[in-house]
């Protein structure tokens, strides 16, 4: 199946700093990428839908100025958590949809565990 | 809006069969997915249903009834490695595109 990578896999930062997470589709083009957040023992919560070359669409309750999303190419989307605080500590997972896929299924990256001290 | 319900936890015995149910409500249904997720890892794709009926893939089968807003995932010949969370997800058509919304997941414990 298609492969989606994320970098970094794990990051620890101080409160107030910004953290950038990269999501890449390695062997396919993804015009749409999704960013999810998952707290312990909870399901994935969709944060935003990222479309190549246009502004991201944020879900209700997600601050677009805090979670900056850039989707500059068909294989790369980035999520920047600005002025991170301890409550932003979570597992962030990106997903990319392969348009040429059989089911238009979404492939998930391995996730980035963010810990804000 | 969307609403997806599935049991929080289930326990089954190695070698047995278990059925995980999922009910959903959505305004623009465009397919239902089942994913498996082990702790600390990203979800992996198991199945996809967009038409009514049963889809079988090895030890895993998934069923969909669109009129009832209902799906189930059937796992046969359970193995210890099947202990994981199983996520029911519905793709919903939205203005200008689609998005996939996940249920809270069902944690399955397989015991010897």
Identify the residue among A106, A111, A115 best suited for mutation to test binding to B, counting B beta carbons within 10 A and taking the highest.
Answer: A106
Which residues from A are below 8 Å from B50, CB to CB?
103
Which residues from B are below 8 Å from A99, CB to CB?
none
* CB–CB contact B102 A43 (8 Å): yes
Which residues from A are below 8 Å from B43, CB to CB?
44, 93, 108
* CB–CB contact A42 B104 (8 Å): yes
pLDDT grade for B62, boundaries at 50, 70 and 90: very high
Residue A100 pLDDT > 80, yes or no? no
Cross-strand partners of A11: A114
DSSP string computed for B22-90: EEEE-SSEEEEEEEEE-TTS--EEEEEE-SSEEEEETTEEEEEETTTTEEEEEE-S--GGG-EEEEEEE
**How far, in Å, CA of B59 to CA of B45, rounded?**
14
Residue A5 pLDDT > 80, yes or no? yes
For the record, the structure tokens of B60 come out as 């895993």
Q: How far is CA A72 from the centre of its chain?
A: 14
Instruction: For chain B, say whether A1 makes contact (Cβ under 8 Å).
Output: yes
Residue A103 pLDDT > 70, yes or no? no
pLDDT grade for A84, boundaries at 50, 70 and 90: very high
Q: Which of A55, A51, A56 is nearest to A32 (CA)?
A: A51
Identify the residue among B9, B44, B96, B99 best suited for mutation to test binding to A, counting A beta carbons within 10 A and taking the highest.
Answer: B99
Choose among A43, A91, A105: nearest Cβ to B104. A43
Chain B contacts in chain A segment 61-90 (CB below 8 A): none
Read off the pLDDT of each residue in B1-24 and give the average, rounded to a whole number: 94
pLDDT grade for A53, boundaries at 50, 70 and 90: confident
Residue A2 pLDDT > 70, yes or no? yes
User: CB neighbours of A47 closer than 8 A, spacing ≥ 6?
Assistant: A35, A36, A37, A58, A59, A62, A67, A79
Residue B95 pLDDT > 80, yes or no? no
pLDDT grade for A74, boundaries at 50, 70 and 90: confident
Choose among B100, B104, B107: nearest Cβ to A106. B100
Q: Which of A31, A18, A43 is nearest to A93 (CA)?
A: A43
- The pLDDT value recorded for residue B79 is 97
Residue B97 pLDDT > 70, yes or no? no
């Amino acid at each position: 199946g298609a492969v989606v990578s994320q970098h970094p896999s794990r990051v620890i930062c101080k409160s107030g700093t910004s953290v950038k997470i990269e999501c890449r589709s390695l062997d396919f083009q993804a015009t749409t990428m999704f960013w999810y957040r998952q707290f312990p023992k909870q399901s994935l919560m969709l944060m935003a839908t990222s479309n190549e070359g246009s502004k991201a669409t944020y879900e209700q309750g997600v601050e677009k100025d805090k979670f900056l999303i850039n989707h500059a190419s068909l294989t790369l989307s980035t999520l920047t958590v600005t002025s991170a605080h301890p409550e932003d500590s979570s597992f962030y997972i990106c997903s990319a949809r392969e348009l040429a896929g059989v089911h238009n299924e979404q492939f998930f990256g391995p996730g980035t565990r963010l810990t804000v001290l | 809006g969307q609403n997806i319900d599935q049991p929080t936890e289930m326990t089954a015995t190695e070698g047995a069969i278990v059925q995980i149910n999922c009910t959903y409500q959505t305004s623009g249904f465009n397919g239902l997915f089942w994913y498996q997720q082990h702790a600390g890892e990203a979800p992996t794709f198991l199945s996809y249903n967009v038409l009514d009926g049963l889809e079988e893939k090895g030890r895993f089968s998934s069923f969909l009834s669109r009129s009832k807003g209902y799906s189930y995932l059937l796992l046969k010949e359970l193995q210890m490695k099947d202990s994981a969370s199983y996520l029911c997800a519905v793709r919903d058509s939205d203005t200008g595109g689609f998005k996939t919304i996940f249920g809270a997941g069902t944690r399955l414990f397989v015991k010897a």
